[in-house]
A and B are shown apart, each in its own frame.
Chain A
Amino acid sequence: MDGFAEKLASKLHHYSVLPFSDVNGTVDAVDPFVLTNYTFFLVIAFVITLVFFLVAARRVSIVPQGIGQVAEAGYEFIRNLCVDNMGKDGAKYAPFIGTLFFFILFNNVIGLVPGALPGTGSIGVTATWALMVFIVYNAIGFKKNGVIGYLKSFVPSGVREMGPGGRFTLGPFIFILEIVGHFLRPLTLAVRLYANMFAGGIILGIFGIFMILGVQQLGALGITMTGFGFMMLVIMYGFKVFVAFIQAYVFAILTSVYIGGALHASEH
């Protein structure tokens, strides 16, 4: 079992952010303008997403057909999601949510290919997008409701209508709580997606190592370890496929909920 620690360490090393040209090296610091092992697959996902939609958009017609039908169904799904969470004006934000959803999805799916990494498995990538979502929805909130109107919405109308005692003691408290809640949103968005995609790889790695060690062992223990490792690998791979879709969906739906909340901030 001694090999386990080294193998896991090398697995963890494989999943760290490294310069793409030096994934087996021992470089600690990553130069700011170097292609990393994650951005490499991010660029691949970018190309695949773009090509898929550009090709699909050319096949789109009144009578649904082929790949165009898939893209249409996907986009319609996102558009409905936007309308459901933001109201009638939601369709306007569908391109934004759609880009988020499909880019994350293609990144996650690429991570399913053995040897590849999901672009979303790096905190740098997910935090950037989460911060972007934070800026976008707050900008929408300020634009739609005005600075005062939007800030006022952080204190629920029930508290605003209380007597001076309630208003001036509970009000600031809730206001601060809300502000903290809003700042937690990008953090949770970023960590949720990153942790899910990153952990998926690590878990597969662990059971993979388990299998390899089992093959190296002799006798009943070796067969048991290999069998168990293989079974778990299959189950976890299936789970990873599920997670790839679910996490893209969660990121998209939360973003649309945040934008919807910002759009209708003055209503509650």
Chain B
Amino acid sequence: MFVGVAYAAEEGGSAISVVPVLADIWPSILAFLLLFFLLRKFAFGPISSTLDKRAATIKESLEKAEQTKVDAERMLEEYKQQMAEARGEAGKVIEQGRKVAESMKAEIVAQANKDAEAIVAKAHEAMEAEKKAAIGELQASVADLSVAVASKLIGEKLSTADHASLIEKYVAEVGSLNDN
């Protein structure tokens, strides 16, 4: 069969030739060179620069993202610290306010107590003075009344000296009554 193939192939006048044909050589080199220069200028060049640009863009974006992350973390830390400081400050202010209020309260209460005491004392004084005045008045009127009664009883006037001694004696008696 294979002898037949070889025979038939030879008979057809087209046995496979492994010798390059000039008609294939020059178009292939021409086509290659033309394609090479055209592709390098209009395709591979732009594609290559785009690839480089993309790589640069991605790198830049990643770096930016990393920087942003670092910034965000730093800011968060700062805010946390500020928050803590503010909280502490607020606590201090409240504490101070409480202290001030307490001291004011104590002062007000003390003042009130003092005022009350003063008022009570004044009232006492006034009452004492009133009492003394009333007693004085009472004593005077008792003396006068006694003299008048005695004069009427005795019917005659006592000497001034008798008078005086009698009054004193009486007053002393009344005074001792008052003490009880």
Contact = CB atoms under 8 A, between A and B. Distances in A.
Nearest to B40: A95
A42 interface: yes
Interface string B34-70: 1110111011111110110110010000000000000
Contacts of A129: 28-29, 32
Contacts of A235: none
Contacts of B25: 124-125, 127-128
Instruction: Label chain A's interface by main secondary structure.
Output: helix
A9 B5 contact: yes
A33 to B, nearest CB: 7
Interface stretch (A55-63, A150-158, A159-167, A168-176): A55-63
Given A53-B44, A54-B42, 20 more contacts: A17-B21, A18-B14, A28-B13, A32-B21, A33-B23, A35-B27, A36-B23, A39-B28, A49-B35, A50-B35, A56-B43, A75-B47, A95-B39, A95-B40, A95-B44, A99-B32, A100-B32, A122-B21, A122-B24, A124-B25
Residue of A26, A33, A60 with most partner-chain B CB within 10 A: A60
A124 B43 CA distance: 28
A245 interface: no
Interface residues on B, range: 35 or more
Nearest to A72: B47
Contact of B16 (A6, A15, A127): A15
A75 B44 contact: yes
A124 B29 contact: no
B7 interface: yes
Contacts of B18: 123
Interface of A: 1, 4-6, 8-10, 12-13, 15-19, 26, 28, 30-36, 38-39, 42-43, 46, 49-50, 53-54, 56-57, 60-62, 71-72, 75-76, 79, 91, 94-96, 98-100, 102-103, 119, 122-125, 127-129, 132, 198
A196 B149 CA distance: 171
Interface of B: 1, 4-5, 7-9, 11-29, 31-32, 34-36, 38-40, 42-48, 50-51, 53-54, 57
Nearest to A103: B35
Given A8-B8, A94-B44, A53 B21 contact: no
A174 to B, nearest CB: 31
Residue of B8, B42, B45 with most partner-chain A CB within 10 A: B8
A49 B20 CA distance: 24
A38 B27 CA distance: 10
B35 A132 contact: no
A71 to B, nearest CB: 6
Contacts of B44: 53, 75, 94-95, 98-99
Contacts of B28: 39, 42, 119, 124-125, 128-129
Contact of A132 (B24, B29, B43, B47): B29
A43 B32 CA distance: 10
B14 A124 contact: no
Contacts of A54: 38, 42-43
Contact of A60 (B13, B23, B31, B46): B46
B17 to A, nearest CB: 7
